[in-house]
Chains A and B, each alone.
Chain A
């Protein structure tokens, strides 16, 4: 008389969790047992149906008003007005992560020291220096404005601002290091410019949002 596998064994077989010897034994049994073959067929069909369910379901209504309310109050409104540049800071780091890594890998694979003396390389390096000078002045001015109005912001707003400025400064630092390794990369100059623009945008919005300005 055949010994039918237990429910747990059939499930593990369908989930491909069995050791080869045990899986082979079940397969051999299934080849001779219509009942178990049908069990496995139906369980597999169920798994396939579940795997094909849509991953996203649109909620029946827009939930953003409730989210804003939960963030809440005057403090929430200040934070909400900063949502664009704050989210942009995190999105910036998401984008930076892979691009800077790729750029550094390319530079390790690619050039030698002699490449850095090529005219086009010197041109890109000069563009990066000009960019830094151009933005550094505006950043300094905005930081001064923000320092004066900091007392009018809530502690939480200040904390979140500082954390996000740190994220952007980290992105700027990574771009600068990557440019030092690969001074020929116009893409990294673009990244650096983008990071500075986000920093300036965040500082402007913070200064504008402060009740004191």
Chain B
């Protein structure tokens, strides 16, 4: 008879998923303190809604959607945010420890360049090129037309290339 896996508690769920959630929050909001706050908000919401998760999809997918929704809701609610270029105050946000090297430097340059994008372009790029959402899905999440998402995405890619190839 096959053994049933041992039950997981919330701390284990946190350990398993916090990196993924934080990555989404950090890349989409481009601010480490905000990313930490949003990550906490995500886990609070997950905690509150865990009882309503009925297993219709993979837990990881459900958690990921919660994270994206929390970030986008916060973005809409923050009226003070504009489309100005935002600077990441602490480049250490993207350090992963361990030996450096050309590949690691290139990756950090890319992360910093993403953080410097205007927010609309950054959200479209992160959701499409990193998180794998389709244009129509992003359009539904952002409440805009798919054509707008494409335009933002293309703009983001152009700006990234201008910065990285300079």
Contacts and interface: CB of A to CB of B under 8 A. Distances in A.
B20 A55 contact: yes
Contact of B130 (A12, A53, A160): A53
A64 B7 contact: no
Interface residues of B, number: 55
Contacts of A190: 1-4
Contact of B165 (A42, A92, A198): A42
A43 B165 CA distance: 11
Contacts of A51: 129-130
Interface string A53-75: 11111111101101100110000
Interface string B14-40: 100011101100100000100110011
21 contacts: A11-B150, A50-B110, A55-B19, A58-B18, A59-B19, A59-B39, A61-B36, A63-B43, A64-B11, A64-B14, A67-B40, A70-B40, A71-B47, A83-B9, A86-B50, A87-B10, A88-B9, A90-B50, A91-B59, A92-B7, A94-B59
Interface of A: 7-8, 11-12, 42-43, 46-47, 49-51, 53-61, 63-64, 66-67, 70-71, 79, 83-97, 160, 163-164, 167, 186-187, 189-191, 193-194, 198
Interface of B: 1-5, 7-11, 13-14, 18-20, 22-23, 26, 32, 35-36, 39-41, 43-44, 47, 50-55, 59, 92-94, 96, 106-107, 110-111, 125, 129-130, 150-151, 153-154, 157-158, 160-161, 164-165
